[in-house]
Amino acid sequence: MKDSIIRIAKENLADIVGFASSERFDKNDPIFKIFPETKTVICLAFRVLRGIYRGTEEGTTYYQYTTMAVENMEETVMPMAQLRVANFIEEQGCIAIPQRRHQQIMAEADSVNPEVGYNTIFRNRPQENQMNFTETAVKCGIGEKGLSGAILTDEFGPMIRYCFILTDAIIDETALREPHLCDNCKKCIKACHGNAISEDGSLDPWQCAVYYNGANGTKNPFMPKDAYADFEDRIKIIAGEAKVTPEKARKILDATYFYPPAQHAYTASICGRACDTACYMHLEEQGKLTKKFKRPFRTREEWKFDIEDFK
């Protein structure tokens, strides 16, 4: 069964498939609330093509990242692979429950998902059980957790997206990956356009949401020079130096419309996941990634606008 699952997943664009026995999970883990009979968790990981980051890197095109690397992956590609694998498992007489991120439902009363409009999120919904995606991916042996919280894989570094299937089928588990990629270089922290990642690696989701959507004018070619005119600290906001509260983040996001959103409530990524690309480049420089390219990702100096242009 395991080989067939891997084959079907890969035929449907998954690049890495990992398996975790339910014994790797605490008895209070959400997987058991969703499906108490869970015996195996299957992780399907999909690379985000490096070429999709190219437009943001060059500062010339932003459309393809949000549509092809976020919206299409989450809404079309991953569900299709999950359903194909789930159908196969159920044909063998077992139960299979696909688990994808519900981008607009949160247990927290006041958090945010940077990838979707903040006012499209239904908060305080603990009864809609959600898996801990990061920890579960590690338990499935697809990679390790980096400083920024991103899952890092040997093949693609942080350039992946992933989802799961819970099943009562008993399948040999994948060995856990010994952490060896993240060396705490802190390049993800330095690269973030809005200082959303703390020294200890914890992420402020509201800070991230503001700058994911392009509040840093020095890295946003679509921002008018008089942006955020109603904010007293507009220059700090535009420089990526403002510390935002959830309330302030909402106000900034309401004033942030530089690029049309995609469908399914996804907003356009203007930061281009600078944390992930910085991490990728560091891993690439160190020769740690098994997926090699003929050319390094960054072949030019990073571009940046002068903050003085906004004064």
Q: Does 104 help bind other proteins (rule: CB under 8 A)?
A: no
Give the range of 22-30, 202-210, 232-240, 300-308 binding other proteins by CB under 8 A. Answer: 300-308
Binding mask 31-60 for other proteins (x = CB under 8 A): ----------------x-xxxx-xx--xxx
Q: How far is CA 276 from CA 1, 149, 205, 261, 299, in A?
A: 34, 10, 15, 21, 17
> Residue 13, by phi and psi: left (phi above 0), alpha (psi -120 to 50) or beta?
left
How big is the chain by its Cα radius of gyration, in Å? 20
SS3 assignment for 80-102: HHHHHHHHHHHHCCCCEEEECCC
Binding mask 175-214 for other proteins (x = CB under 8 A): ----------------------------------------
Burial of 180 from C-beta contacts in 10 A (0-12 / 13-18 / 19+): exposed
Partners of 197 in the β-ladder? 203
Q: Residue length, the chain?
A: 311
- CB nearer other proteins, residue 142 or residue 166: 142
- CB nearer other proteins, residue 38 or residue 153: 153
- CB nearer other proteins, residue 10 or residue 251: 10
Smallest separation, CB 301 to other proteins (Å): 9
Q: Does 68 help bind other proteins (rule: CB under 8 A)?
A: yes
Q: Does 303 help bind other proteins (rule: CB under 8 A)?
A: yes
Q: Are 53 and 65 in contact (CB under 8 A)?
A: yes
Q: Does 80 help bind other proteins (rule: CB under 8 A)?
A: yes
Q: Does 7 help bind other proteins (rule: CB under 8 A)?
A: no
Q: Of the candidates 157, 108, 156, 160, which has an alpha carbon nearest to the alpha carbon of residue 132?
A: 108
| 190/197 Cα distance (integer angstroms) | 9
The strand ranges marked E within the chain are 16-21, 40-47, 96-99, 144-145, 151-152, 160-167
Q: Does 120 help bind other proteins (rule: CB under 8 A)?
A: no
Residue with tokens 């920024």: 148
Q: Does 258 help bind other proteins (rule: CB under 8 A)?
A: yes
Q: Are 43 and 135 in contact (CB under 8 A)?
A: no
Smallest separation, CB 95 to other proteins (Å): 27
Smallest separation, CB 298 to other proteins (Å): 12
| 311/236 Cα distance (integer angstroms) | 11
Q: Does 97 help bind other proteins (rule: CB under 8 A)?
A: no
Smallest separation, CB 156 to other proteins (Å): 9
- CB nearer other proteins, residue 54 or residue 186: 54
Smallest separation, CB 142 to other proteins (Å): 17
Give the range of 65-73, 121-129, 162-170, 177-185 binding other proteins by CB under 8 A. Answer: 65-73
**Where do contacts with other proteins occur on this chain (CB under 8 A)?**
13, 15, 47, 49-52, 54-55, 58-64, 67-68, 72, 76-77, 80, 221-224, 258-260, 263, 291-295, 299-300, 303, 305
